[in-house]
A and B are shown apart, each in its own frame.
Chain A
Amino acid sequence: MLSRTADNLYWLARYVERAEYLARILEATLRLTAVPLDAAGESNEWESAVATAGCANAFYAAYDEANEENVTDFLAFSPANPSSIRSCFEVARTNARAVRTALTMEMWDAINGTWLELKRYGNGPTSREEFSRFLRWVQESSLRFDGSAYRTMLRNDAYWFTRLGIYLERADNTARILDVKYHLLLPAQEHVGGPLDYFQWAAILRSVSALTSYHWVYRESLKPWLIADLLILKDEMPRSLASCYENIVRYLDDIGSAYGRQGPSQRLARGIRTRLQNSRMDGIFQSGLHEFIQEFIADNNRISQTVTQQYLT
């Protein structure tokens, strides 16, 4: 396969995943802003959203304040932001068009259909209700694309590069959520845990669709260290770092087998997976949750670069 083709497929998948993630963040933020807040020492949820989306620099260059109007515009509709939902779908569709022959009909219909419908939303919603509907639509579009890939693609390198993109993006996204909210997940709390923390924890879980799953796995009320455990170490949880890396290793191995050689990507991925497999939550808290997540984000970025060098250029 041409590295250009692999590159297009990989980024197509990453951008669609990124769009879904942004929609989840915005939905979670909307929910949290509806909760009555105690003003003392509270962080601005919209600021949090910008941080979780990883575009704080670009945002504060363009806007003064993080409020609902600015953030929803920047993260969802702004063509000036290369990682807004609109931009993600535009770039995804451009990539898809370049490799149209590598996609099945269903996949092309899914991404092209999404792009066409995007025009309907114009420059932004007129009401909060419409915006919520928009966010639901974004997530459904991502699901449709992902589902059509899963259901119709031949299991060959095109498929594996697509999955690789999804899981690398997903691991990065979960790590960002943990990074921004890590102070809420530490076992020793500075504020006494109360109803506000509960909403925060529930928001974290909702943003990864894990609120019900949590109770299934732990059969307990929400505990921050268990939430961290679920999102970092649990293989069963599909958006956890462990699960993402299980898949990353698997698809890198498949690519390696198909091409007849392994390289630095496979070795790096296995190293990270081994570290996650051999870790326990109490050990992570002891050496520092924030440091652990920062190191993970750095490692994840390194793998993305290595994959790009090894296969996509």
Chain B
Amino acid sequence: MRIQIAHETIYRYERPASSIIQTLRLSPRNHEGQYVVSWRIQVSADCPLIGQEDAFGNLTHTFSIDSPVDELAVRVEGEVDTEDTQGVIRNAVERFPPSLFLRETPLTQLDDGIAQFAADSMSALGHDQLTRMHALLTALNQEIAFDTDPTHTATTAGEAFALRRGVCQDMTHIFIAAARSLGVPARYVSGYFHRADGVVEQEAGHAWAEAFIPDLGWVGFDATNGICATEAHLRVAVGLDYLSAAPVRGTRLGGGAEEMSIRVRVEQAQRQMQN
């Protein structure tokens, strides 16, 4: 399908903030089943946007603003053609061997709760990794309730799991921690999700996990929706956890309190082409 994205992030500062620097991971790359037709990033300030690649191969754009501003808007607009690949990622940029993604990070640190849950979901299952990961996906999807209240961006997998509540970021972190505890390399994917129920306005982008299955490669597992990645998933950045794949990371000097609002529109493009 052709997915159309309009993503706007607006920061409002109590007092003018200066020396803002941000790194954006908002540009999807092409791989089999995903082709970027058009993509544009606009920053409200007058400054150069420097495009680079990070260590994972994600496309990054960095900008810095020296003069004080009391409002900053980052707008992303684009169209991407996606195809269903049964969740398998092929021909993407891979800079590291899969085993790197067994590394534990503070946000995905394993605790006894998750380890036990992961082991329990595997009982009575054979050795086929794909089946095991599917079982983990289903078990997690049923166990954790979607709730935007109790967690925030710095919540660890363990904390969210103890609450049995969280948003897509938390469920993805829990999946990653659980998969790694079972010896399966897993990584964080940030991107967009086109909802089948017709809801176009979303509060944020989406996050899901990818696990490395021998003989298949990296396969997308969406713990929030309980499915493998489909043509409705638009893959933007990957990393060890939220921090290395975050859409926006930055820092500033001054500004006082910050108010951030995000608006995401994910819809199917009007003019569709038969395939």
- Where the two chains meet, the residues of A that have a C-beta atom closer than 8 Å to any C-beta of B are 253, 256-257, 260-263, 270-271, 273-275, 277-278
Contacts and interface: CB of A to CB of B under 8 A. Distances in A.
B31 interface: yes
Given A261-B275, A262-B275, A270 B35 contact: yes
Given A257-B271, A260-B273, A270-B81, 7 more contacts: A253-B37, A256-B273, A261-B275, A262-B275, A271-B32, A274-B30, A277-B30
Contacts of B274: 260-262
Interface string B18-48: 0000000000011110010100000000000
Nearest to B273: A262
A277 B273 CA distance: 24
Interface string B259-275: 00000000000010111
Contacts of A261: 273-275
Contacts of A273: 30
B91 A274 contact: yes
Contacts of B37: 253
A257 B30 contact: no
B154 interface: no
Q: Is the interface of A mostly helix, strand, loop or mixed?
A: helix
Contacts of A274: 30-32, 35, 91
15 contacts: A256-B273, A260-B273, A260-B274, A261-B273, A261-B274, A261-B275, A262-B273, A270-B35, A271-B91, A273-B30, A274-B91, A275-B91, A277-B30, A278-B30, A278-B91
A263 B91 CA distance: 20
Contacts of B275: 261-263
A227 B29 CA distance: 26
Contacts of A275: 91
B163 interface: no
A278 B92 CA distance: 7
A271 B271 CA distance: 22
A270 B273 contact: no
A277 B30 CA distance: 8
A253 B92 CA distance: 22
B29 A278 contact: yes
A275 B31 CA distance: 8
Contacts of A256: 273
B119 interface: no
Contacts of B29: 277-278
A286 to B, nearest CB: 13
B93 interface: yes
A257 B37 CA distance: 12
* Residue from the set A256, A260, A278 with the largest chain B CB neighbour count within 10 Å: A278
A277 B91 CA distance: 11
B211 to A, nearest CB: 21
Contacts of B35: 270, 274
Nearest to B57: A278
A253 B79 CA distance: 13
A275 B35 CA distance: 12
A271 B83 CA distance: 12
Contacts of A278: 29-31, 91-93
Nearest to B30: A274
Given A271-B91, A278-B91, A278-B93, A257 B273 contact: yes
A263 B273 CA distance: 10
Nearest to B272: A260
Contacts of B93: 278
A275 to B, nearest CB: 6
A231 B274 CA distance: 35
Most B CB within 10 A of own CB, among A253, A257, A270, A277: A270
A252 to B, nearest CB: 12
B38 to A, nearest CB: 10
A260 B271 CA distance: 9
Nearest to A249: B35
Contacts of B31: 274, 278
Contacts of B91: 271, 274-275, 278
A270 B81 CA distance: 11
B54 to A, nearest CB: 14
A168 B271 CA distance: 28
Nearest to A257: B273
Contacts of A271: 32, 91
7 smallest CB-CB distances across A and B, nearest first, come from A274-B30, A261-B274, A278-B93, A270-B35, A262-B273, A262-B275, A261-B273
Contacts of B81: 270
